[in-house]
């Protein structure tokens, strides 16, 4: 069996190989191979292509399975796939992303770094006697936009802190929202609940319905003391509206872990956005690190190996996906 | 009714007054009045003294109720109280302290500030492509020393993150430990479970049994990747052993919110410890801020007012305490 791994995925070859039930041929290709045909002769005839992204202008080389080593499918041009190719994805990032989201909420509320900065032996008397009481997560309200695996993982932790959880999900229309939440509404009802939010956390997929869906009207509906946390995809949020909401203090703060443009390789010095969000004091910008843990990769490549073992044995694959934008 | 409020407590006079069922006379005294007899003529005959601390070398002035506006009784010299005085304390700090403890654990695991420092438009390509995966709280083990209200509040939140919770409590001897934990042991068994700890959180009271109880043997039993969080009282931990454990990397880090010496007033420039812990890169020092929230004071002074209303109506008081060090 021939397994081609593209970009960062190739660094996990040993973990994948160790979990396979059979010997396989591995080929590692640079990140650029996801959109350039320069390596297509090496991809041609592969049983498995492991890549977060896939695009082609020319006809694609043949392969049987594209295994995305993540959950998001927005990097895949489904119309460019070779005939008969199956696509699978993998999750397991709900744990680190929920930990990241709660870290943001607690950072905002506790401001641990600011407390540390105030402490010194010389300043002790003043720092102690002049302590200013902070707020609490307890009793506050969090609106979670998109209530899939990540939304559930954020919500169960948030509820343990006594936060009131409002889920936004298309399934709310039919009353079919399960999971750890106190109330649920449809995306069409979002603007009505935004004024109640202390925290808004975006965990929805990027698709034709969500692209640019969080824009000026949504920021206008939020309170000036509210906080936005985006761990979904940047393009869910209109960048112009976001920049002005932060600059003009329509909201208190945004934790931004996802970006509008990603480098295609080491030499691609692309800007993450049209605005320098990091220059705004109330923008807390991180380099798409919310889901990036050792545990994530251990769980993901164990899952991908199990799927490849199934392919090898002719068994049905898990997490088979179809084009989310097909009507 | 005459109500005397000492030090920081006096800043909450309006909240207390607003929640009383009757008009009262209020006297605000400086922090030093807890240990100096210079204001005793104003305390004499008080119905209620609200003070975190009380000491006297000379005979104490008469008062009926000392209401401590916190949980810790280590600032009270019970032998110095006037005859017949009742002492009550108040909790409500378990929520902010649990939020502080989880903020520390997530700060250690996610390192949000370090992620932010790595982000800029110019460094985006490098920051994104060279991300280093972090660890997760999920699946790790936390040992909570002292399993009262604070311990429970930390534990229920920790369990929501998939942490394995080990409680250390004297009640474990009789198998009477309730609450959100996976295992429970007595203080005598602490050293046996310390090697399993990723996090050790001290939430026990300071008394004759716990003073200096976390010392060289305990640090030697911890792993070099383990983290200590002290939100109890500094004196539970031997300062010499703590300093050397951090300096010699016997443990990875300590979050220290409680200190060995506190100022008696604005002009008392006392050092918080004999060592400059803040100079150690793996000591995360904060100025006793773990419990300090607006919600804390709202809940506490509502409780104290309800107790004073009971005193006024001759009803039994809540949270009456006795000398914890009396044999």
Provide the angle, in degrees to the nearest 10, between the axes of the packed helices A94-110 and B94-110: 120
Q: Which residues of A touch B135 (CB under 8 A)?
A: 293-295
Given a cut of 90, whether residue B175 has pLDDT beyond it is no
How large is the ipTM?
0.87
Residue of B110, B122, B140, B229 to mutate for A, most A C-beta atoms under 10 A: B110
- Are the Cβ atoms of A106 and B102 closer than 8 angstroms? yes
Which domains can be identified in chain A, with CATH numbers?
2-92+294-321 (3.40.50.720), 94-285 (3.40.50.720)
Q: Which residues of A touch B179 (CB under 8 A)?
A: none
Per-residue pLDDT of chain A (327 residues; tens, 9 = 90+): 999 999 999 999 999 999 999 999 999 999 999 999 999 999 999 999 999 999 999 999 999 999 999 988 989 999 999 999 999 999 999 999 999 999 999 999 999 999 999 999 999 999 999 999 999 999 999 999 999 999 999 999 999 999 999 999 999 887 788 899 999 999 999 999 999 999 999 999 999 999 999 999 999 999 999 999 999 999 999 999 999 999 999 999 999 999 999 998 889 999 999 999 999 999 999 999 999 999 999 999 999 999 999 999 999 999 999 877 664
Minimum distance, in Å, between the CA of residue A73 and any CA atom of chain B:
19
Q: Which of B106, B162, B225, B278 to mutate to test the interface with A (most CBs of A within 10 A)?
A: B106
Q: Determine whether the interchain pair B287/A124 forms a contact, defined as Cβ–Cβ distance below 8 Å.
A: yes
Residues of A in contact with B8 (CB under 8 A): 129
HSE, side-chain direction, 13 A CA sphere, residue B38: 9
Minimum distance, in Å, between the CA of residue B326 and any CA atom of chain A: 30
Q: Do B292 and A95 touch (CB under 8 A)?
A: no
Q: Is the pLDDT of residue B326 over 70?
A: no
Beta bridge partners, B308, equal none
Query: Is A295 close to B138, i.e. CB distance below 8 A?
Result: yes
- Choosing among A53, A114, A119, which should be mutated to test the B contact, i.e. which has the most B CBs within 10 A? A119
pLDDT at residue A18, as a whole number: 96
Mutate to test the interface with B, among A69, A93, A112 (most CBs of B within 10 A): A112
Give the confidence band of B325 by pLDDT, cuts at 50, 70, 90. Answer: low
Contacts of B85 by beta carbon, 8 Å cutoff, 6+ apart? B60, B63, B64, B65, B66
pTM of whole model > 0.80?
yes
In chain A, what residues touch B127 (CB-CB under 8 Å)?
287
Give the closest residue to A257 by CA, choosing from A240, A279, A277, A280.
Answer: A277
Judge residue A9's burial from the number of C-beta atoms within 10 Å of its C-beta, 0-12 exposed, 13-18 middle, 19 or more buried. buried
Q: Which helix (H) or strand (E) holds A239?
A: helix A239-247
pLDDT in tens, A228-278: 999 999 999 999 999 999 999 999 999 999 999 999 888 999 999 999 999
Query: For residue A256, what is the nearest residue in chain B, using CA coordinates?
Result: B116
**Whether B102 and A100 lie within 8 Å, measured CB to CB:** no
Number of Cβ pairs < 8 A linking chain A and chain B: 198
Question: Could B137 and A271 be called an inter-chain contact, meaning their C-beta atoms sit closer than 8 Å?
Answer: no
Query: What one-character-per-residue DSSP string does B264-321 give?
Result: SSTT----SSSS-GGGSTTEEE-SS-TT-BHHHHHHHHHHHHHHHHHHHHTPPPSSEE
Confidence of residue B18 (pLDDT cuts 50, 70, 90): very high
Q: What's the confidence (pLDDT) of residue A326?
A: 61
Arithmetic mean of pLDDT, B170-187: 90
- Rounded CA-CA distance A75/B134 in Å is 24
Q: B99 and A271 in contact by Cβ < 8 A?
A: no
Query: Mind telling me how many Å the CA of B23 is from chain A's nearest CA?
Result: 28
pLDDT score of A327: 45
Q: Note the pLDDT of residue B221.
A: 98
A282 contacts on B by Cβ (under 8 Å): none
């Amino acid at each position: 069996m021939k397994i081609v791994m593209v970009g960062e995925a190739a660094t996990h070859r040993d973990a994948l190989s160790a979990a396979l039930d059979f010997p396989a041929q591995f080929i590692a290709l640079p990140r650029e191979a996801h959109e350039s045909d320069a390596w297509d002769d090496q991809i041609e005839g592969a049983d498995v292509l492991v890549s977060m992204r896939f695009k082609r202008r020319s006809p694609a080389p043949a392969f049987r399975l594209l295994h995305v080593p993540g959950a998001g499918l927005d990097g895949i041009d489904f119309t460019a796939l070779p005939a008969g190719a199956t696509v699978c994805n993998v999750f397991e990032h709900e744990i680190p992303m929920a930990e990241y989201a709660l870290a943001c909420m607690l950072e905002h509320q506790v401001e641990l770094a600011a407390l540390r900065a105030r402490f010194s032996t010389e300043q002790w008397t003043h720092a102690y006697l002049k302590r200013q009481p902070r707020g609490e997560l307890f009793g506050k309200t969090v609106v979670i936009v998109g209530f899939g695996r990540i939304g559930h993982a954020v919500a169960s932790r948030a509820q343990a802190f006594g936060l009131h959880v409002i889920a936004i999900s298309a399934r709310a229309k039919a009353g079919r929202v399960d999971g750890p939440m106190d109330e649920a509404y449809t995306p069409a009802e979002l603007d009505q609940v935004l004024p109640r939010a202390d925290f808004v956390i975006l965990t929805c997929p990027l698709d034709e319905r969500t692209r640019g869906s969080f824009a000026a009207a949504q920021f206008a509906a939020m309170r000036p003391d509210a906080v936005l946390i985006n761990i979904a995809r940047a393009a869910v949020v209109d960048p112009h509206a976001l920049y002005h909401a932060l600059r003009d203090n329509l909201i208190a703060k945004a934790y931004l872990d996802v970006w509008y443009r990603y480098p295609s390789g080491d030499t691609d010095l692309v800007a993450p956005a049209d605005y320098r969000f990091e220059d705004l004091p109330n923008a807390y910008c991180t380099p798409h690190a919310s889901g990036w843990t050792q545990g994530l990769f251990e769980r993901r490549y164990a899952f991908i190996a199990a799927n490849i073992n199934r392919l090898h044995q002719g068994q049905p694959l898990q997490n088979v996906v179809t084009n989310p934008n097909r009507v």
